[in-house]
Structure 1
Amino acid sequence: MAPQLRVPALLPPMLRCPAPAPSAQAGAGEQVRVAVLGASGYTGEEVVRLLALHPNFKVTTLTGDRQAGKHFSDVFPHLLTARDVPPLVKIEDVSWDNVDAVFCCLPHATTQETLASLPAHLKVVDLSADFRLRNVDTYAEWYGGEHKAPELQKEAVYGLTELHREAVKQARIVANPGCYPTSVQLPLVPLLAANLITAEDIIIDAKSGVSGAGRSAKQNLIYCEVTEGINAYSVTRHRHMPEIEQGLSDACGKDVRVSFTPHLMPMTRGMESACYVKLADGASAGELRMHLQERYREESFVHVLPAGQVPQTHHVRGSNHCLIGVFEDRIPGRAIVLSVIDNLVKGASGQAIQNMNLLFGLPEETALLQQALFP
């Protein structure tokens, strides 16, 4: 007899707006004027690349203080054919009256003051970690400095789109999730909410391509240091840990602590999270798979694979898709849940566009239906 699906608990919203934001619908043919702050980094570049096919969003402003004055194709020659892309300018030189929406791709701890200074009419998706953690004291503990915009933090909505879609639609500021938290929460939040796995003894072994560390020159990221090897980093202290725990705790209504270890892989992009979980009494790995399949059946970007199929980073490269596989562990009462994404797309810029589409009343798949690049 097939296992009976358990009725999932309602997912509590991560972050709520205090009041619905004014309507900002973009009809067919209307142009939303977009600024990309920090466009000289990898996430900013990916936003521009993906928006090249967007029928409603037009990039009118690009900032990059150290690259100010340069054409975008001088900084990223592979985007030579991206038409009508403006040159880079400094943030202080932007005319905000000519901007409707902002993708903020600035480094962590620099976004708070920038967003606090922006006009209130702007819709913002922030790709840094500055507004992901509700508790500003937790932010200070993990990011090494006091939060400089606590009032904006109260307004921000956490933008893991498939789990918080309705809250995102009403937001003005969206905190785009981190790449590791995206790959972990998409499979585990529904399972915790449905009481199919326990909140205790969750182990996450995660691996990421080098692009996740950004474009800045660092010795540990040069070719000779990275190639032909694999290494764990930020062991027990990776900054994505409190974000993961915040989302998992909200899902089950109790404090969740996870064992999380990230690894750097000798590849450009891609991310895999192997999650080792304890089954709730009476649950099975097959029931976990069935529940996730039902939860994501209507989703465009999250796909649960059939039994026995192993998700691979090659199969999501360059796309906004997440693939999930569920396996019975050899240890009785445990299961292994595998999740893969492209860390720069679903783990960053693609999900940011998905959220911005929602902010302007557009189909969230707009400009994001590219298939994975393989081989």
Structure 2
Amino acid sequence: MTKTVAIIGASGYTGAELIRLIATHPDLEIGALCADRKAGMRLAEVFPHLRHLDLPELTKVDTVDWSGIDLAFAALPHGTSQQIVAAIPERVKVIDLSAGFRLSDTAVYERWYGDAHRAPELQKTAVYGLSEFYRDDIRAARLVAGTGCNAATGMFALLPLLQAGVIDPDEIIIDMVCGVSGAGRAAKEAMLHSEVSEGTHAYGLPQHRHTSEFDEQFGKAAGRPVEVTFTPHLMPANRGILATCHVRGDADEIHATLAERYGPEPFCEVLPMGEAPATRHVRGSNFVHVGVVGDRRSGRVRVFAALDNLTKGSSGQAVQNANLMLGLDETAGLMLAPLFP
């Protein structure tokens, strides 16, 4: 029953996280690792922390023998993934971790990302990869679009509340802090240690691209257009996202709604009323912690969500989707306890 997967973009942070998770997965094995700029190198040269693994040499994507591959993870920048995914044989299932297929309307994609969609016909078949909300669609999908890590964090906090109608869709403010690995592994001056340490700043203003995911998914949940105020901040940490969502509603009803919705979910933990989550309690895991704290003003509530941007926000969620697509146990390879301290 072992399934064979390929990882395209294996030299990035999400690629490394996929390798780390799949290395101990009982039903998946890695058949190909692609990293065009590092083709011909051994994985140990790119990621010394993975040198204990016996894995294929890095290769160019156009040299992959797809005949033995069941599923491909595309961990590429959004500007390059669409054409590469479109060239993968149709019999191979695909999970794209970039923004390439997240937005159902290609015109909306072009407006937010500034370039024409390169696979509009394929977009029509893509399923949004938020496992807990699109599980049945993901099981039947050939192409799954991985969520934005910021977007997923806010959605875990608020989607059940919008679906249940217990918060006002017109009064949502999301403040979020994210670790620097969310910006990827490519060298950037703004990501130098001396630029980001000992400080925190807002970024992606006036409108971060993940806002487009909030618009689409929150609108579906509420049954009408929803526009949130979203401000992300970069924090001097490698991993983790914490969302603080300011909403209007009843705190007890909000907490009860989340507890009921996530009760059967293996990766979603709703904290006791009045307790806020912390990124250090989910680091390196596929868990998301959700908390509810009432405000001193009646009718105002803060809803929190914390997850690891590289795991539950990206690669862990992708493995969870792969398990669904390949008919495996959804939790396989993912019940790793968080790293602490």
* TM-score, normalised via structure 1 length: 0.90
Question: For each residue in 1:13-46, what CA deviation from the matched residue of structure 2 results, as whole angstroms up to 9, or x when unmatched?
Answer: xxxxxxxxxxxxxxxxx22111000000000110
Write the mapping of 1:154-233 to structure 2, written as runs, cut at 5 A: 154-233=124-203
Looking at structure 2, the residues matched to 300 and 69 of structure 1 have their Cα atoms a distance apart, in angstroms, of: 39
**Contact 2:247-2:302 within 8 A present in 1 as well:** yes
Partner of 1:288: 254
Structure 2: tracts of 5 or more residues without a match: none
Q: Among residues 333, 344, 349, which one is paired with 2:299 in the alignment?
A: 333
**Contact 2:273-2:292 within 8 A present in 1 as well:** yes
Looking at structure 2, the residues matched to 187 and 374 of structure 1 have their Cα atoms a distance apart, in angstroms, of: 23
Write the mapping of 1:44-55 to structure 2, written as runs, cut at 5 A: 44-55=15-26
**Contact 1:200-1:278 within 8 A present in 2 as well:** no
Question: For each residue in 1:281-339, what CA deviation from the matched residue of structure 2 results, as whole angstroms up to 9, or x when unmatched?
Answer: xxx20111011101110111011000122200000000000000001112221110010
Query: Where do 4+ consecutive residues of structure 1 move more than 6 Å?
Result: none
Looking at structure 1, the residues matched to 103 and 93 of structure 2 have their Cα atoms a distance apart, in angstroms, of: 19
Deviates more, 1:93-102 or 1:289-298: 93-102
Partner of 1:146: 116
Q: Secondary structure at the match of 1:364?
A: coil
Question: For each residue in 1:176-224, what CA deviation from the matched residue of structure 2 results, as whole angstroms up to 9, or x when unmatched?
Answer: 1110111111121110111100110210000100000000000000010
**Contact 2:178-2:234 within 8 A present in 1 as well:** yes
Offset at residue 244 of structure 1 (A): 1.2
Offset at residue 250 of structure 1 (A): 0.3
Q: Kindly, what percent of the aligned residue pairs are identical?
A: 48
Offset at residue 236 of structure 1 (A): 2.2
Offset at residue 98 of structure 1 (A): 2.4
- Establish whether residue 306 from structure 1 lines up as the match of residue 246 from structure 2: no
Looking at structure 2, the residues matched to 257 and 268 of structure 1 have their Cα atoms a distance apart, in angstroms, of: 30
**Aligned CA-pair RMSD:** 0.7
Looking at structure 1, the residues matched to 99 and 306 of structure 2 have their Cα atoms a distance apart, in angstroms, of: 21
Looking at structure 1, the residues matched to 25 and 338 of structure 2 have their Cα atoms a distance apart, in angstroms, of: 18
Q: Among residues 4, 7, 11, which one is paired with 1:40 in the alignment?
A: 11
Partner of 2:77: 107
Q: Secondary structure at the match of 1:211?
A: helix
Question: For each residue in 1:105-140, what CA deviation from the matched residue of structure 2 results, as whole angstroms up to 9, or x when unmatched?
Answer: 011121111111111100111100010001101100
- Establish whether residue 132 from structure 1 lines up as the match of residue 102 from structure 2: yes
Letter in 1 for 2:52: T
Write the mapping of 1:45-124 to structure 2, written as runs, cut at 5 A: 45-82=16-53, 84-124=54-94
Looking at structure 2, the residues matched to 227 and 85 of structure 1 have their Cα atoms a distance apart, in angstroms, of: 35
Looking at structure 1, the residues matched to 304 and 313 of structure 2 have their Cα atoms a distance apart, in angstroms, of: 15
Offset at residue 80 of structure 1 (A): 1.1
Letter in 2 for 1:371: A
**Contact 2:275-2:293 within 8 A present in 1 as well:** no
* TM-score, normalised via structure 2 length: 0.99
Looking at structure 2, the residues matched to 254 and 340 of structure 1 have their Cα atoms a distance apart, in angstroms, of: 27
Looking at structure 2, the residues matched to 45 and 62 of structure 1 have their Cα atoms a distance apart, in angstroms, of: 10
Q: Secondary structure at the match of 1:162?
A: coil
Question: For each residue in 1:73-100, what CA deviation from the matched residue of structure 2 results, as whole angstroms up to 9, or x when unmatched?
Answer: 1100001112x21110011111111211
Looking at structure 1, the residues matched to 308 and 262 of structure 2 have their Cα atoms a distance apart, in angstroms, of: 18
- Establish whether residue 364 from structure 1 lines up as the match of residue 336 from structure 2: no
Looking at structure 2, the residues matched to 235 and 201 of structure 1 have their Cα atoms a distance apart, in angstroms, of: 19
Q: Among residues 212, 221, 228, which one is paired with 1:258 in the alignment?
A: 228
Structure 1: tracts of 5 or more residues without a match: 1-29
Q: Secondary structure at the match of 1:263?
A: strand
